A and B are shown apart, each in its own frame.
Chain A
Amino acid sequence: MKIMVAVKRVVDYAVKIRVKPDKSGVETQNVKMSMNPFCEIALEEALKIKESGLAKEVVAVSMGPSNCVDTLRTGLAMGADRAIHVEASRDLVPLTVAKLLKKLVEIENPGLLILGKQAIDDDCNQTGQMIAGLLGWPQGTFASKVVFDKEKQVATVDREVDGGLETLCLDLPAVITTDLRLNQPRYATLPNIMKAKSKPIKKFTLEELNVEIKSDIEVVQVIEPPKRKAGVILSSVDELIDKLKNEAHVI
């Protein structure tokens, strides 16, 4: 079985972001960029499945400008066998990403598609569900545990939902989106980083994949949220109870 993993290059999770003064977006120039943490978890899961003998190949995919290649190299260094870069000079909405992924799925024929549940920049949490819908594949989103049965060709997925932990059984091929507790992604070791330099990255242009580029969402502006009023440090529990009761009136 081949596993395809979609990964996204985003502002590093620890960076304190700044909104551009012209309100057109968030500042990403000269800011540390990394593979989206949920995508790292997705890739790690694919690698674990391969290492357990249930898959033969892991292919990492990313879409965007040329610096996507950095993220793909990280993926290859973690252990992906091959990578695909879909070149796009502008931001793509999740639906377009899903349609591009569908084309790649038709070319590559993976038995499993794993994505991070959301990107920490736009926090959309849409792409995995969309590609599953377009392919007519079952989906196991917000996965915290995945167990494969090679014989029965099914995946049993534990999902983190509002009410607790839901367990579903999915026929393969399927789409899984990863939640935080699924695994701990490995660090790329130096020998693997060196090896990654010679692993192939295939490039596709949007024209070659011949997909309709959706542009039905327009960003009007990006602003900082209103700041909270500064608070006070109190000196005793008595004072806290007094403030909560007589000042804030919440108890």
Chain B
Amino acid sequence: MACRFILQNLSKRHLLHSTFASRSASTLILAEHEGGSIKAQSLSAVAAASSINGDNPVSLLLAGSGSSLQQAAEKAATCHPSVSQVLVADSDKFAHPLAEPWAKLIQLVQLKGGYSHVIATSGSFGKNILPRAAALLDVSPVTDVVEINGPHQFIRPIYAGNALCTVRYTGANPCMLSVRSTSFPVPPISGDLKSGGASISEVDLSTLDEDSIGKSRFIKLSSEETDRPDLGSARVVVTGGRALKSAENFKMIEKLAEKLGAAVGATRAAVDAGFVPNELQVGQTGKIVAPELYMAFGVSGAIQHLAGMKDSKVIVAVNKDADAPIFQVADYGLVGDLFEVIPELLEKLPEKK
């Protein structure tokens, strides 16, 4: 059953921000939560908000139903010093992150709150929902932002990241953005928040426009159980390409990943061939990663794959073909047979501490 409560915890800082809200920037973050906690990627959106206008009050919008939502709200209130308000939309309509109710929710909250900026992280949630909300608010959003140059000037990759485009938003409020979490890392939050965190308040859903809600229904989510860290935020990623030849062989990649405490990634070809599920795909239309170490085995280095990993700090490539394009982006390359190199690595790599 939904556990409804209103917790008004007005801090002095919150009151000050309410007074000045009409004069300065104010940001609404569309946040995701799971199992009672805010998803790490959502914090990147908060980091992006603070780089737009350091002082601007940041409100976090959460939607869902039940006690895990309320738990997430409490955690959200202390997740980042910039967050001054947590808005909670509690309803069965938001049991799953469907675009139709979420877009109406954003429209409702924006019309009430008059934010200058609305930000989401550029993952499948933000990509699915933000543009629909932008259309309802009649504004052009700027998606997949990698750098913020000012309140209305942003840089985003085009042509699979082979060019960077600086755009200026010249329209009315709100300026809506989705940001790449790999471009806006979240610094570790040290110490306790002096004011005791943000205020938490319920969104009044009585005027939520019902039209188009109910026309889509969540059936299920199929995901693979794994002990591996999340691909989008792992420090080390080990990726396999089609040269692995089978799902069975791909287990070598997993073994290596386990030895390194790494996440497993894959090329489009490996996913198409059925070696691994789609959520491991790295690339222009898959996941964008920027780990400290990216190791690519049997990956040719097609433009579309590079788009997803070329911002990695250190890139290692192992491929039998000395002319494979991957060697042009690799810091360290080994021309050799991955079926020999991987077992040797497994044998010789130091145990992870």
Chain A residues proximal to chain B, CB less than 8 Å:
11, 13, 16-17, 19, 26, 93-95, 98, 117-118, 120-127, 129-134, 136-142, 144, 156, 159-171, 174, 179-181, 214-225, 228-229, 231-234, 236-238, 240-241, 243-245, 248, 250-251
Q: Which among A98, A120, A231 has the greatest number of chain B C-beta atoms within 10 A? A: A231
Chain B residues proximal to chain A, CB less than 8 Å:
98-100, 103, 123-125, 127-136, 138-144, 153, 157-172, 211-212, 215-224, 232, 236, 260, 268, 271-272, 277-279, 284-285, 287, 292-293, 303-304, 310, 313-316, 322, 327, 329-335, 341, 344-345, 348-350
Question: Do the beta carbons of A165 and B222 come within 8 Å of each other?
Answer: yes
Residues of B within 8 A of A181 (CB): 271-272, 278
Residues of A within 8 A of B322 (CB): 233
26 CB-based A-B contacts, threshold 8 Å:
A26-B158, A95-B135, A122-B165, A123-B157, A123-B158, A123-B159, A129-B129, A129-B135, A130-B135, A131-B135, A163-B223, A164-B224, A165-B223, A167-B221, A168-B98, A217-B168, A217-B170, A217-B171, A221-B166, A223-B163, A223-B164, A224-B163, A231-B327, A240-B332, A244-B332, A251-B293
Question: Given A180-B285, A222-B165, are A237 and B345 neighbors across the interface (CB < 8 Å)?
Answer: yes
User: Other than the known A16-B303, A129-B129, what 5 A-B pairs have Cβ atoms closer than 8 Å?
Assistant: A166-B222, A181-B271, A216-B139, A221-B165, A231-B331
Question: Do the beta carbons of A126 and B141 come within 8 Å of each other?
Answer: yes
Question: Do the beta carbons of B216 and A138 come within 8 Å of each other?
Answer: yes
When C-beta atoms are compared, the residue in chain A nearest to B41 turns out to be A162
Residues of A within 8 A of B169 (CB): 216-217
Residues of B within 8 A of A216 (CB): 139-140, 169-172
Question: Given A216-B171, A244-B332, are A120 and B160 neighbors across the interface (CB < 8 Å)?
Answer: yes
Give complex CA distance A156, B341 in Å. Answer: 44
In the complex, how many angstroms separate the beta carbon of A38 from the nearest chain B beta carbon?
8
Question: Do the beta carbons of B292 and A250 come within 8 Å of each other?
Answer: yes
Which single member of B128, B158, B170, B327 contacts A218 (CB below 8 Å)?
Answer: B170
Question: Given A121-B158, A225-B164, are A144 and B278 neighbors across the interface (CB < 8 Å)?
Answer: yes
The 9 A-B residue pairs whose C-beta atoms are closest, nearest first, are A216-B171, A164-B223, A130-B135, A138-B216, A133-B132, A129-B131, A126-B131, A133-B135, A161-B124
Question: Given A181-B272, A228-B329, A234-B334, are A13 and B222 neighbors across the interface (CB < 8 Å)?
Answer: no
When C-beta atoms are compared, the residue in chain A nearest to B335 turns out to be A233
In the complex, how many angstroms separate the beta carbon of A33 from the nearest chain B beta carbon?
13
Question: Do the beta carbons of A164 and B277 come within 8 Å of each other?
Answer: yes
Question: Do the beta carbons of A165 and B345 come within 8 Å of each other?
Answer: no
Chief secondary structure at chain B's binding surface: mixed
Question: Do the beta carbons of B165 and A219 come within 8 Å of each other?
Answer: yes
Give complex CA distance A124, B177 in Å. Answer: 12
Question: Do the beta carbons of A169 and B217 come within 8 Å of each other?
Answer: yes
Residues of A within 8 A of B220 (CB): 166-167
When C-beta atoms are compared, the residue in chain B nearest to A215 turns out to be B170
Residues of B within 8 A of A224 (CB): 162-164
Residues of A within 8 A of B212 (CB): 136-138
Question: Given A168-B216, A216-B170, A220-B168, are A163 and B331 neighbors across the interface (CB < 8 Å)?
Answer: no
Give complex CA distance A180, B169 in Å. Answer: 31
When C-beta atoms are compared, the residue in chain B nearest to A154 turns out to be B217
Give complex CA distance A137, B139 in Å. Answer: 19
When C-beta atoms are compared, the residue in chain A nearest to B133 turns out to be A133
When C-beta atoms are compared, the residue in chain A nearest to B129 turns out to be A129
Question: Do the beta carbons of B99 and A141 come within 8 Å of each other?
Answer: yes
In the complex, how many angstroms separate the beta carbon of A242 from the nearest chain B beta carbon?
10
Give complex CA distance A6, B216 in Å. Answer: 22
Question: Do the beta carbons of B128 and A141 come within 8 Å of each other?
Answer: yes
Which single member of B135, B163, B271, B332 contacts A232 (CB below 8 Å)?
Answer: B332
Question: Given A26-B158, A123-B159, are A94 and B211 neighbors across the interface (CB < 8 Å)?
Answer: no
Question: Do the beta carbons of B333 and A233 come within 8 Å of each other?
Answer: yes
Give complex CA distance A11, B163 in Å. Answer: 13
Question: Do the beta carbons of B160 and A162 come within 8 Å of each other?
Answer: no
When C-beta atoms are compared, the residue in chain B nearest to A212 turns out to be B138
Give complex CA distance A215, B159 in Å. Answer: 21
Residues of B within 8 A of A132 (CB): 99, 132
Question: Given A11-B159, A120-B159, A126-B143, are A162 and B330 neighbors across the interface (CB < 8 Å)?
Answer: no
In the complex, how many angstroms separate the beta carbon of B94 from the nearest chain A beta carbon?
15
Question: Do the beta carbons of B284 and A120 come within 8 Å of each other?
Answer: yes
